[in-house]
C-alpha cells in the first residue's frame, strides 16, 4: 500500500501536460492544449489538457479526469500501477507497508504479469554477461554492429540454451508458474515446464508507457524446422495487433520530425537508431492493423514505408497501405536498392546519406502502386482493367476530397484513362461504403435512439427507489439535477445579494443548499447526491468549493462528472430552451439563472409527482376506497397549490437582484 503522504506528493509533482505528451501530440490552444483523441478515431482534435487545472477532457469519447485517471484509462493500469508509474517518472521514492498474504493474493493480476515480464527482461539482458551469452548472444549483436548503448536502450538479451534455465530462475525468485505460463515465457506440458525462448536472442517489446509486455526471440540455428522468429503469445498485457516495436523509443522523435518511418523487423529499427534515425517503428513481420496505424497517427499524420525490394512482399502489403490512406494519413513509399534492407542500408550509410536517399527516392503510394502493377499488366487488357479498379479502390478510401482529386488526376495520366471515368468509379465506391456504414449504424442503434444529449444519458447507476420526501417515491429529474450540480461546482464560491435581506450576502453554494434543504429535496442520482453532500460539508467547515477537491475525489463517478463540468463548453441551458426572448451564457446572470433553475427543478419534481398520484387516483376510484380517495385528493390539491406558486416564479418574478 502507498501511504497518503506519498500519494499527495505524486499528485503535486506530476505535470499532466508532460505525462500526456508522452502519449498524445498536443498543441497550445489558448490557456490549454489540444490534440487528437487517443480513445477514439477522430479527424478534428477534441482532446483537451488544462495544465492550470490539472485535468484532461476528451470531448469525442466523454472521458476525462486527472493525470492518474488518464494513465488508468489509456494504459489500462490499476490505481496503484498509475501511481507507481508517476513515482518512477519523477523519481519519487515509495515506501510501502508490507502486504499481508491476503493482500498479496488480491493484487491486480495485470500488475503481476508486468512484474514477471520486467524480471524476464532484466534476466535476459544480464545473460549477455554470462559465458554462453557472450559467445552466442553478444556475438550476434556485435556482428550486427550494435553498440552497447543500443543494447541497453532496447534491453536486448539472450535466453540460455538449457531449456529450463529461465523457468527455474523465475521460480527461485518467487514468480508463480501460472504467471510464467500466462505471459508465454514458459510452456507447460504434462506437469513439465520449459522456456519458450531457449537458445534465442531476445528483443523485449514495450508498451507506450515503457512497460515490457512481450518478447520476440530469434534463433541463431540454421535448422529450417525451427521458426526463425518466435513471439510472445497473446495475453492480458500483450496484444500484437495493438503494438508497434520501437514506438516507445521513437515517439518523441516522431513528434519532433513530424514523420514516422515504418519497417519490418526488430533489427531494422535498432540499426536505424544506431545510424541516428530514431523516428522509426516496426510491424514485426505481422500484417499492419488499424490499431497500429492509429497508434502512429497519434504522433504524426505522415508515414514513410521502407521496402527491401521483395515484390511479393510489397504486393502483400497493399491492403495495409489502403488502411493507412483510409485513416487520412499521408503515405510515402521508398524502395531500397536490390539486396538491401533497412538494417544493412543503415549499417553502410550515415544518417545524412540515408535521409537524403529517402528524400530523393520516396514516392506517393498511388504512383508507386500504379508503376508496380503496370509492369505485369502492360500487354494484358484484363489485367490492366483490374489494375485500374485496384487503383480506384485505393483512391476511394481517402477521406479528404482534395487529396482524392489530386490522385485521380495523376492516376488518369499514368493509366491513360479519362479523369471523369475515374471520378465516376470513385463516387460509386464511396456511395457503397456510406451505405454499408449507414446499415451498420442502423443495426447498432440504441434502444432509445432519440436520446442524444449527454445530459439525458447518465453514466452513473441510479438507485432503485430514490427518495423525495414530502412528495412521492420514484420521482426523477436528471436534467435539472445536473444543472444545479453544474452551478454548485462552477460558481459555488461566488456571492449573491438577496433582496429579502438588506445588505446580506450569501454564496451560490449556500443559497442552493438552503433551497434544497428547506424543501426537503434529495438528489436521485447517486453521484449528484455525493457532490451535494460534499459541498454541504465543505460549506459547514467554511472551506471553498475547490476544483481540485472534486477532480481528485476518491470516487470515479465524481471525478468524471467534475471534469465534465469544469471543462464544459458554453451551451444553451435546458431551463432557457423555452420562450425567453434572449439567452445569456451560463454564469453571466447568476441572480436570474440559479433561482430559475431551482424553480424549474422543483416544478419538474411536482409535475412528475402529480402524474404519479393521478394514476394512483384512477386505481383507487376503481376500487371505491373512499378514505384512501379523500386522502389522495388532499395530497393532489396540496401539490397543485405548490405548482401554482412555482409557476409565478417561473413566469418571471425576480427574487434576487
Task: Name the CATH superfamily, with its identifier, for domain 108-238.
Answer: DNA primase, catalytic core, N-terminal domain (3.90.980.10)
pLDDT(87) > 80:
yes
CA separation for the pair 46, 33 (Å, rounded): 10
> Residue 213 carries which DSSP code?
E
Helix boundaries (H) for 301-380: 311-316, 318-326, 342-348, 351-361, 365-377
pLDDT(153) > 90:
yes
Interstrand relation of 302-307 and 330-335 (parallel, antiparallel or unpaired): parallel
Most confidently modeled range among 59-63, 82-86, 366-370, 592-596: 82-86
CB 358 within 8 A of CB 284: no
Q: Write down the residue that cell numbers 442502423 correspond to.
A: 442
For residue 637, what pLDDT is reported? 73
CB 200 within 8 A of CB 120: no
Using a 10 angstrom Cβ sphere, with 0-12 exposed, 13-18 middle and 19 or more buried, the burial of residue 16 is buried
CA separation for the pair 257, 238 (Å, rounded): 28
**What's the average model confidence in pLDDT over 465-487?**
60
% pLDDT > 90, the chain: 27
For residue 440, what pLDDT is reported? 64
For residue 628, what pLDDT is reported? 66
For helices 365-377 and 381-396, the axis angle rounded to 10 degrees is: 170
- In 442-469, which positions are buried (b, 16+ CB within 10 angstroms) versus exposed (e)? eeeeeeeeeeeeebeebebeeeeebebe
**What's the average model confidence in pLDDT over 624-632?**
66
Cα–chain center distance at 558? 19
The number of C-alpha atoms within 13 Å of 113 and in the hemisphere containing its C-beta is: 19
For residue 466, what pLDDT is reported? 27
pLDDT(563) > 50:
yes
* Confidence grade of residue 326 (pLDDT, cut at 50, 70, 90): confident
For residue 507, what pLDDT is reported? 87
For residue 456, what pLDDT is reported? 33
263-309 residue pLDDT tens: 988 999 999 999 999 999 998 767 888 889 988 887 888 999 998 76
Cell triple for residue 340?
A: 538491401
The CATH number for 240-361, chosen from 3.90.420.10, 3.40.1360.10, 1.10.510.10, 3.30.2320.80, is 3.40.1360.10
For residue 452, what pLDDT is reported? 35
* Confidence grade of residue 311 (pLDDT, cut at 50, 70, 90): low
Q: Write down the residue that cell numbers 553498440 correspond to.
A: 147
The model's pTM is 0.61
Cell triple for residue 298?
A: 497519434
112-124 residue pLDDT tens: 899 999 999 999 9
What average pLDDT does the structure give for the chain? 80
Question: Class for domain 4-89, per CATH?
Answer: alpha beta
CA separation for the pair 56, 16 (Å, rounded): 8
CB 415 within 8 A of CB 378: no
* Confidence grade of residue 622 (pLDDT, cut at 50, 70, 90): low
**What's the average model confidence in pLDDT over 422-434?**
84
For residue 587, what pLDDT is reported? 60
SS (H, E, C) 399-451: CCHHHHHHHHHHHHHHHCCCHHHHHHHHHHHHHHHHHHHHHHHHHCCCCCCCC
For residue 282, what pLDDT is reported? 94
For residue 499, what pLDDT is reported? 52
Using a 10 angstrom Cβ sphere, with 0-12 exposed, 13-18 middle and 19 or more buried, the burial of residue 31 is exposed
**What's the average model confidence in pLDDT over 327-332?**
89
379-416 residue pLDDT tens: 778 888 888 888 888 888 888 888 888 888 888 888 88
Strand partners, 189: 192
What string of DSSP letters covers 162-191?
Answer: STTHHHHHHHHTT--HHHHHHTTSEEEETT
* Confidence grade of residue 476 (pLDDT, cut at 50, 70, 90): low
pLDDT higher for 639 or 463?
639
Taking the C-alpha atoms of 573, 562, 498 and 656 in order, what is their torsion angle to the nearest 10 degrees? 0
21-68 residue pLDDT tens: 988 888 888 878 999 998 888 888 889 998 878 889 988 888 888 999
* Confidence grade of residue 163 (pLDDT, cut at 50, 70, 90): very high
pLDDT(191) > 70:
yes
**What's the average model confidence in pLDDT over 549-569?**
82
pLDDT higher for 233 or 108?
233
CB 590 within 8 A of CB 573: no
CA separation for the pair 389, 487 (Å, rounded): 58
Amino acid at each position: 500500500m502507498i501511504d497518503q503522504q506519498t500519494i499527495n506528493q505524486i499528485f503535486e509533482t506530476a505535470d499532466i501536460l508532460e505525462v500526456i505528451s508522452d502519449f498524445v501530440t498536443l498543441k497550445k490552444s489558448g490557456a490549454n492544449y489540444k490534440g487528437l483523441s487517443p480513445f477514439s478515431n477522430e479527424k478534428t482534435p477534441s482532446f483537451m489538457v488544462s495544465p492550470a487545472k490539472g485535468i484532461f477532457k476528451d470531448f469525442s469519447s466523454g472521458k476525462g479526469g486527472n493525470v492518474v485517471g488518464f494513465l488508468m484509462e489509456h494504459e489500462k493500469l490499476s490505481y496503484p500501477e498509475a501511481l507507481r508509474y508517476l513515482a518512477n517518472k519523477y523519481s519519487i521514492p515509495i515506501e510501502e507497508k508490507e502486504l499481508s498474504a491476503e493482500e498479496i493474493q488480491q493484487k491486480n493480476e495485470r500488475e503481476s504479469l508486468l512484474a514477471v515480464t520486467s524480471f524476464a527482461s532484466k534476466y535476459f539482458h544480464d545473460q549477455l554477461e554470462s559465458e554462453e551469452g557472450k559467445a552466442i548472444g553478444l556475438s550476434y549483436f556485435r556482428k550486427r554492429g550494435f553498440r552497447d548503448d543500443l543494447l541497453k536502450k532496447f534491453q536486448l538479451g539472450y535466453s540460455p540454451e538449457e531449456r529450463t534455465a529461465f523457468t527455474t530462475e523465475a521460480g527461485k525468485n518467487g514468480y508463480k508458474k501460472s504467471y510464467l505460463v500466462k505471459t508465454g515465457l514458459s510452456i507447460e506440458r504434462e506437469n513439465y515446464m520449459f522456456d519458450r525462448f531457449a537458445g534465442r536472442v531476445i528483443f523485449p517489446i514495450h508498451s507506450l508507457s515503457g512497460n515490457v509486455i512481450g518478447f520476440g526471440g530469434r534463433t541463431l540455428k540454421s535448422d529450417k524446422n525451427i521458426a526463425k522468429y518466435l513471439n510472445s503469445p497473446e495475453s492480458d498485457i500483450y496484444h500484437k495487433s495493438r503494438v508497434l516495436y520501437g514506438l516507445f523509443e521513437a515517439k518523441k522523435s516522431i513528434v519532433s520530425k513530424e514523420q514516422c518511418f515504418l519497417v519490418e523487423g526488430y533489427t531494422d529499427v535498432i540499426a536505424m537508431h544506431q545510424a541516428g534515425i530514431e523516428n522509426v517503428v516496426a510491424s514485426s513481420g505481422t500484417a499492419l492493423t488499424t490499431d497500429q496505424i492509429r497508434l502512429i497517427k497519434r504522433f504524426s499524420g505522415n508515414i514513410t514505408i521502407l521496402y527491401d525490394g521483395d515484390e511479393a512482399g510489397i504486393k502483400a502489403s497493399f491492403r495495409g497501405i489502403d488502411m493507412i490512406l483510409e485513416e487520412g494519413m499521408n503515405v510515402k513509399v521508398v524502395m531500397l536498392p536490390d539486396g538491401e534492407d533497412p538494417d544493412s542500408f543503415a549499417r553502410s550509410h550515415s544518417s545524412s546519406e540515408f535521409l537524403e536517399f529517402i528524400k530523393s527516392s520516396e514516392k506517393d503510394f498511388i504512383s508507386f502502386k500504379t508503376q508496380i502493377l503496370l509492369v505485369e499488366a502492360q500487354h494484358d487488357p484484363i489485367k490492366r482493367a483490374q489494375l485500374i479498379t485496384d487503383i480506384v479502390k485505393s483512391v476511394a478510401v481517402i477521406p479528404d476530397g482534395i487529396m482524392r482529386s489530386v490522385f485521380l488526376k495523376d492516376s488518369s495520366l499514368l493509366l491513360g484513362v479519362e479523369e471523369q471515368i475515374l471520378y465516376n468509379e470513385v463516387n460509386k465506391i464511396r456511395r457503397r461504403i456510406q451505405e454499408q456504414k449507414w446499415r451498420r449504424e442502423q443495426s447498432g442503434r440504441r434502444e432509445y435512439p432519440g436520446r442524444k444529449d449527454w445530459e439525458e444519458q447518465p453514466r452513473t447507476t441510479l438507485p432503485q427507489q430514490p427518495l423525495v420526501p414530502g412528495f412521492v417515491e420514484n420521482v426523477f429529474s436528471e436534467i435539472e439535477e445536473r444543472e444545479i450540480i453544474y452551478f454548485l461546482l462552477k460558481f459555488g464560491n461566488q456571492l449573491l445579494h438577496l433582496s429579502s435581506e438588506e445588505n446580506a450576502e450569501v454564496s451560490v453554494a449556500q443559497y442552493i443548499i438552503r433551497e434544497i434543504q428547506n424543501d426537503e429535496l434529495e438528489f436521485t442520482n447517486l453521484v449528484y447526491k455525493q457532490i451535494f453532500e460534499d459541498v454541504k460539508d465543505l460549506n459547514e467547515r467554511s472551506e471553498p468549493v475547490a476544483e481540485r477537491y472534486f477532480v481528485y475525489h476518491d470516487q470515479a463517478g465524481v471525478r468524471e462528472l467534475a471534469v465534465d463540468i469544469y471543462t464544459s463548453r458554453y451551451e444553451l441551458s435546458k431551463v432557457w430552451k423555452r420562450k425567453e426572448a434572449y439567452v445569456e451564457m451560463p454564469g453571466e446572470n447568476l441572480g436570474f439563472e440559479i433561482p430559475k433553475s431551482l424553480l424549474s427543478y422543483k416544478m419538474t419534481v411536482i409535475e412528475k409527482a402529480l402524474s404519479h398520484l393521478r394514476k394512483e387516483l384512477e386505481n383507487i376510484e376503481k376500487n371505491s376506497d373512499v378514505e384512501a380517495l379523500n386522502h389522495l385528493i388532499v395530497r393532489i390539491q396540496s401539490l397543485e397549490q405548490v405548482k401554482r406558486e412555482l409557476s409565478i416564479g417561473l413566469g418571471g418574478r425576480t427574487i434576487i437582484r
